Structure 1
Amino acid sequence: MADQSDVWLVVPVYNEAQVIADVVRHALETFPNIVCVDDGSRDGSADAIRTSGAHLVQHPVNLGQGAALQTGVEYARSQPGAEYFVTFDADGQHQVHDVLKMLERLRAEPYDIIVGTRFKGDDSHIPLIKRVVLKTVVAISPRLRKLKLSDAHNGLRVFNKKVADEMAITLNGMGHASEIVEMIARKDWRVTEEQVEILYTEYSMSKGQSLINGVNILFDSALKTSSRR
């Protein structure tokens, strides 16, 4: 297997004590550099991370996934030899083999960032509410269509040092995904998509996208669209 010492996985964590150590240990078999940002968890996630072998950064209170990602990217980009960066979910939905596939493309092709998508193949396994919400986000966003992105709220992204150095997420909650799309367009980062597998387990579904969060994503996306008009 190719040396992955120039890669850093950034994992935002909020109340994932049940699974985070296993997720990290599995990823560490391929990627030696992982930073977990414990975003004010109340369930022992920090202790689980400490035993897993990952680097741990903690927020004293819950600030939101966007803030955790920004903290993790800032930590990772400050590390010697860091050249490639991955945003990776803590609940076990993302797959290491997809990260390897995306990294291979990023190293060989003229892109700055590769975004995972669930919608380049059969999407019937995706829960109906989630599928409808995510496709509606694309439908109401001219920017997503212009960038040819079909799954802006997929948390699996791989990007280079240029993107890491320029990334400045200011929306702490779920709106950060739309903000990253806006940065891609504004900063002219060269972007493409890669089909990825999302593993929907009973655990991840229990913590997954609720109808309320789906409505919040739609609201955030609609607000951003109207503010640019």
Structure 2
Amino acid sequence: MPTSMRTFVVIAAYDEAAVIGGVVAGVVQAGYRVVVVDDGSADGTGPLARAAGATVVTHPINLGQGAALQTGFDFALAQDADVVVTFDADGQHRTSDIARLVEALDRQGADYALGSRFLGGTVDLPPSRRLLLAAATAFTRLTTGLAVSDTHNGLRALTRRGLSRLRLRQNRMAHASEILHQIALAGLPWVEVPVTIEYSAYSLAKGQRMSDALFILVDLFARRMHR
């Protein structure tokens, strides 16, 4: 997109002191403004992110990733952001994919660019996690009508107009499905972009257990049925 566009990268972080400095430094070195929402961490995540070059907004208690992202969205919009990119704190995203997402918004006239590991690639993705992601994607396609290939991918870019149509109310991990549901309701153009997700022992340990993800799917289904 034009160099005059103000792009903010929002990172929700909870107890990520082991990796947050390197993650933030990589994004800052690529030339982006970084906003880390320290979601009630007890391990020094906030100070380490600030030292690496991020603006840090702090939740005094842990509210969940959905709430942390909404805080980051509100902050970025208040700072006149034109584009907001969401980026995970655990080191599994590649900084080089940010530019691909932002460029796709302009090239395809979209308001949402959604990263897809299944159009791109994965490194060390366990078979059990692949199965879980496939189930989540099938559920999302069924309930939203969006023909996405990857549901729970935290790497995405949103224009100011697109972001203004979203308001996260699912504080915890169910926010990923909620975002896609609200994108479907917004009726604005979206596109999927190939990205690479690199799994590590650290990121897998920080991720959801199978039982957690199944609970999220059941909860979301129940909410849909009561609307």
Same fold (TM over 0.5): yes
- Show the counterpart of 1:6: 6
- Show the counterpart of 2:184: 185
Deviations 1:143-182, CA, capped at 9 Å, x for gaps: 45x3111212111110101022222101101111111111
1:94 deviates by 0.9
- Show the counterpart of 1:59: 59
Report the aligned-residue RMSD: 1.9
- Show the counterpart of 1:16: 16
Q: Percent of aligned pairs with the same residue?
A: 39
Alignment of 1:1-229 (within 5 A): 3=3, 6-80=6-80, 82-120=81-119, 125-141=124-140, 142-144=142-144, 146-228=145-227
The answer to whether the 8 Å contact 1:95/1:197 transfers is yes
The answer to whether the 8 Å contact 1:95/1:198 transfers is yes
Q: Distance in 2 between matches of 1:63 and 1:183?
A: 21
> How many residue pairs were aligned?
225
1:204 deviates by 1.2
The answer to whether the 8 Å contact 1:67/1:173 transfers is yes
Between Structure 1 and Structure 2, which shows a larger proportion of strand residues? 2
The answer to whether the 8 Å contact 1:49/1:56 transfers is yes
The answer to whether the 8 Å contact 1:4/1:32 transfers is no
Q: Distance in 2 between matches of 1:105 and 1:208?
A: 28
Relative distance call for 1:216 and 1:103 in structure 2 (3 A) is same
1:60 deviates by 0.5
1:18 deviates by 0.7
1:52 deviates by 1.2
For 2:131, give the aligned amino acid: V
Q: Distance in 1 between matches of 2:17 and 2:121?
A: 32
For 1:50, give the aligned amino acid: R
The answer to whether the 8 Å contact 2:35/2:54 transfers is yes
Gaps of 5+ in 2: none
Deviations 1:65-97, CA, capped at 9 Å, x for gaps: 0000000000011113x2111010001111111
Q: Distance in 2 between matches of 1:122 and 1:103?
A: 19
For 1:190, give the aligned amino acid: P
Q: Distance in 2 between matches of 1:155 and 1:58?
A: 20
Relative distance call for 1:118 and 1:28 in structure 2 (3 A) is same
Q: Distance in 2 between matches of 1:116 and 1:66?
A: 18
The answer to whether the 8 Å contact 1:12/1:68 transfers is yes
The answer to whether the 8 Å contact 2:5/2:82 transfers is no
Relative distance call for 1:122 and 1:52 in structure 2 (3 A) is closer
Q: Distance in 2 between matches of 1:121 and 1:52?
A: 29
The answer to whether the 8 Å contact 2:7/2:83 transfers is yes
The answer to whether the 8 Å contact 2:112/2:159 transfers is yes
SS at match of 2:30: coil
State the TM-score, normalizing by the size of structure 2: 0.92
SS at match of 1:197: strand
